[in-house]
Structure 1
């Protein structure tokens, strides 16, 4: 019989690509991961890994068993969810939230949960959508709060369920003394944008190109509160979503973009977790917190 813990290691290796990355993600030593996978290989009776330079890769048998491992982990999660529904308190819900959601939505959502489900434990980490969604598939998190920019689609991951919270308007952000009336007037300004490779950066650059120029990115920062400070101090211009303001008044001048675009805010969980009462409770609280803010 295959041990589920070893099957998870194989599944993690299929996602992360290296034994070191698996060890770091699961807080094991690389030697422990290697030993456990060697035992799994003995249990399987066929080669699962093959040396590839200084790394290893899955054989055809390994890929086949890794696919079955994903199904086994999903079934295990479904069963645990059904058992959880019969208990007064279950395992903690591990949440990953992007920065603006962590600042604007988590506190009111957790207050709602404290009223509705006082025994429900929640563990929260701040994570950008790209890594949060990856780690959701890898089972480090149970629920992710992420974003989708208009016209941009994220990598499709099988067995992940999305639920839309609502739309978050995106606007030009200028120093308060800046009288520019639109995007085209900012072609010669210094810009602050999120790092390359993020959906926010790709989308913002596309807006500038549609207006006929390539933005001069002087500041590449992931922390949107730093964007606000740089813009308010007159060092840059940028594009900011409304969620960044949380409960405070904007400290910059906001100008609508053409077409009044919004990003979609959504929660994601594994399909095998959708029926978990704890997941439903957290999703409901986040949805109500977003609706209260939007209203």
Structure 2
């Protein structure tokens, strides 16, 4: 029978990419990881790694082993959930990540609800963009991810992860006060009127940046992006101080009145989807269920206060 610990190391290598990354994540020496994987190769009787330059990659047989390891770990997730469900009190640590606007608008209220209902559950929150958080979830660095999907830019749904919708967040064109895009203009005309204006957007490589660039190009212009940051509060401030135009989601206002003029975006481009993601098999865990319930209630509280 193959050693489960060594199988997990092989799985970690698939998700983290290098022996050094596996060693750092698990607090091992790289030589120890390499030795364990060599022993696994001896157990299996076929090569599991092949050199590619200075790195290694998994062989076809290693990929087969990782697929079976994923199934075993999913079953163990279910076992952990069943054990936790059998207990009368919810304890332990729940590790979640959230992107900025959800962290500001929803997470504090959800934490308060969790504290009141499950005072012995320790919740650890990390601010992280979904592009990095989802691979970290697969690698078991976190238990739940708050993620977003922009219109027209769907991401592949990985079989080993489970998604649950949380809310639809309207997106707006945010104008500096000095820009005269009138209320009577249509969405595309209002957008096109900013062709010569400076913009603030999220960095290259993010889903938000791809969506924003597509919007502008479909309106017939290449935006003059002078400011790049994932901090949407800085986006808001730059618009308020009349340095840039921006695309801002409704969550950024946290239920308060907008501080800059807003215009509608073209139809089909106005809503981003916000959802939670967990590993396959862990959705039945009472801590996951409690967190998702608290987030849904936080959305409800925000809606009732709007």
TM-score greater than 0.5 by the shorter chain:
yes
Q: Is the 8 A contact 2:92 2:120 kept in 1?
A: no
Aligned partner of 1:184 in structure 2 is 192
1:268-287 deviation per Cα after TM superposition (whole angstroms, max 9, x unaligned): 11121011111001001001
Aligned partner of 1:195 in structure 2 is 203
Range 149-158 or range 86-95, more displaced: 86-95
Q: TM-score, normalised by structure 2?
A: 0.91
Q: Is the 8 A contact 1:137 1:157 kept in 2?
A: no
Change (3 A) 1:184 1:26: same
Report SS of the residue matched to 2:193. helix
Aligned partner of 2:227 in structure 1 is 219
- The yes-or-no answer on 1:292 pairing with 2:305 is no
Range 234-243 or range 5-14, more displaced: 5-14
Range 36-45 or range 246-255, more displaced: 246-255
Alignment of 1:108-147 (within 5 A): 108-147=109-148
Report SS of the residue matched to 1:239. strand
- Give me the whole-angstrom Cα distance separating, in 2, the residues matched to 1:252 and 1:70: 48
Which ranges in structure 1 are unaligned for 5 or more consecutive residues? none
Q: CA deviation at 1:28?
A: 3.0
- Give me the whole-angstrom Cα distance separating, in 1, the residues matched to 2:92 and 2:64: 30
Q: Is the 8 A contact 2:90 2:286 kept in 1?
A: no
Q: TM-score, normalised by structure 1?
A: 0.94
1:184-209 deviation per Cα after TM superposition (whole angstroms, max 9, x unaligned): 11000111110111111111111111
- Give me the whole-angstrom Cα distance separating, in 2, the residues matched to 1:169 and 1:96: 22
- Give me the whole-angstrom Cα distance separating, in 1, the residues matched to 2:102 and 2:229: 17
Q: Is the 8 A contact 1:143 1:268 kept in 2?
A: yes
Matched positions, count: 295
Residue 264 (structure 1) aligned to one of 273, 293, 300:
273
Residue 289 (structure 2) aligned to one of 275, 280, 294:
280
Q: Is the 8 A contact 1:163 1:267 kept in 2?
A: yes
